[in-house]
Structure formats: C-alpha cells, structure tokens
Homo-oligomer: A and B are copies of this chain.
Amino acid sequence: MTYCVGLQLNRGLVFLSDTRTNAGVDNISTYRKLHTWEVPGERAMVLMTAGNLATTQAVVSLLDERNLAPNDRSPSLLTAPSMFQAARLIGQTLREVILEQTHGGPQAASTTFNATMIFGGQVAGSPPRLYMIYPEGNFVEAQIDTPFFQIGETKYGRPILVRAYDPEMPFEQAVKLLMVSFDSTIRANLSVGAPLDLQIYEGDSLMLGKSRRIEETDSDFAAISDGWSDALRTAFHSLPDVTL
C-alpha cells in the first residue's frame, strides 16, 4: 500500500508521502513516491504516487524524458502553460502506461497495473492548484469543500484530517496534522511505513519550499506519535459520560 496526502491551505500546499512499497507482507522496500520539478520564479510542481510501482516509475521517467526533449505536440511539465495542462499531460501519460501494460485489456482502474496520483503546485499567472489524477487519465481539483486529497490507505488517517483541518493553518500546524494522520495509519497498516517525505509549497513563491525526510526516529514525529495517545485519551475522558 501507500499513504500520501496533499493539503491545500490559504498559504500554499503541503505534501506528505510514505515510502514503503510491498509485494506481499514478506517483500517490502523503500522507494521515494514524492517527485518535484521547478523553474524558480516561473513554476514549481509536486507529484505523489500510489499504486503499481512499475507504472508510477514509468510515468515519472516519461515525464522526465519529455522535460529533456520537449516538443509542441507533447509539451513537457516544464513548458506546460498551466497546472491544468500539466495535469492533463500526467493523466495522459499515466493512462498510456497502463494501457501498454494491459495490452488494451480491461479498464485502467480495474487492473493491477493501475495507479493514482496527487499533483499540485503553481505556474506563474494562476493561483496554486491541487489535483487528484485517476488511472483513466482524468482528474479532479481540490476546492474549498474538499481541500485535501488522500491516496493509498486513506481510512485510518481521515477522521483527524476532517476534524482538525483549517484553511488558515500555518505550515507548522499542517505538518503536525499530517504527522498525526500518518501515525494513525502507520500503526494500523504494515504496508505504510516511514521514512516520510515532506514538501511544502508557499503560495506565489514559484519555487519549491522546505522539504524534509522524516525518519522513524525523527524527534518531532516521535513526540507527536507519543503525545497523541495521551492527548487522545485525555480528549476521550473529557467527553460527557453516558448513562446506561
């Protein structure tokens, strides 16, 4: 499995991804699932991937190759005129890779070769954008009612996101929120695991913001992981008693 969250804030975007891949519980590895591109002052883009690793690696390789040799017919991420066009390019590439691996077989979403992606960032001239891209190549954009996207093992970490998210949050708080969400998921599902990759994008900066690899031994993550159990128990005991 995998767990990745992209969060839209008034100040910008925050991305957090795990790095565990597995083919059965007896075969796990660490792979980076968070990829970035930038032309400082002009564009900054972040892509997180969940699903078949061969598919997602092929998509990222094809995107990188196009960046080296862009042409008018198939623009690259570095030349796409908008985030929307960049998302279309990623969606098309994803769909093509899946179709190739299934030899035009079943629908993209129903094969084991499928993958889902979160794509966000900004191209000069428009505000920051955050998209969720499906195996069929289509995509949806985050909006005020749905200000974040999750891919992979989304359920364990969702309740806290739904309840504590606030668009006005500073980045420090958003990272704390994501750490809590990831901690709940990592404790529950062996196929999600540290280290985590964090990437921040500050709105209108047009360059990648702070990034960090959060190891299992990271002192911030450990403090939150330890503190959350106590905080949750305190919260639970603060609720009114039930009469039977």
> Contact residues of A with B, CB < 8 Å?
155-156, 158-160, 162-164, 171-173, 175-177, 179-180, 184, 187-188, 200, 210, 212, 220, 223-224, 227-229, 231-236, 238-244
Residues in B with CB closer than 8 Å to A184 are 159
Question: What number of copies of this chain does the assembly contain?
Answer: 2
Which 7 A-B pairs give the minimum distances between C-beta atoms? Answer: A155-B155, A231-B235, A235-B235, A159-B184, A164-B236, A220-B242, A175-B242
Contacts of A240 in B (CB 8 A): 220, 223-224, 227
Asked whether A158 lies within 8 Å of B156 as measured between CB atoms, the reply is yes
Docked complex Cα distance between A233 and B243 (Å): 25
A188 CB contacts on chain B under 8 angstroms = 155, 158-159, 162
Which among B155, B158, B164, B171 is the interface contact of A244 at CB below 8 angstroms?
B171
Q: Is the CB of B239 within 8 A of A224?
A: yes
Interface secondary structure of A, over-half rule: helix
Q: Are B227 and A231 in contact (CB under 8 A)?
A: no
Q: How far, in angstroms, from A224 to B177 measured CA to CA in the complex?
A: 22
Rounded to whole angstroms, the CA-CA distance of A242 and B200 in the bound complex is 14
How far, in angstroms, from A229 to B238 measured CA to CA in the complex?
Answer: 12
Whether A176 pairs with B231 at a CB distance below 8 angstroms is no
Closest Cβ of chain B to A196, distance in Å, is 12
Q: Does A236 contact B177, Cβ atoms closer than 8 Å?
A: yes
- A228–B159 Cα distance when bound, in Å, is 11
Can you pick out 14 interface pairs between chain A and chain B where the beta carbons lie within 8 Å of each other? A160-B232, A164-B232, A171-B244, A173-B241, A176-B239, A176-B242, A177-B236, A179-B242, A180-B239, A210-B244, A212-B244, A223-B239, A224-B239, A235-B235
Q: Given the complex of chains A and B, what is the CA–CA distance between A158 and B158 in angstroms?
A: 11
Complex contacts, A172 vs chain B, CB 8 Å: 241-244
* A187 partner, pick from B159, B239, B244, beta carbons under 8 A: B159
Which of A159, A224, A227 neighbours the largest number of chain B CB atoms within 10 Å of its CB? A159
Q: List 19 additional contacts besides A223-B240, A232-B235; criterion CB under 8 Å.
A: A155-B155, A156-B156, A156-B159, A158-B188, A164-B233, A164-B236, A172-B241, A173-B241, A176-B236, A179-B242, A210-B244, A212-B244, A224-B239, A224-B240, A227-B238, A228-B235, A231-B235, A232-B232, A235-B235
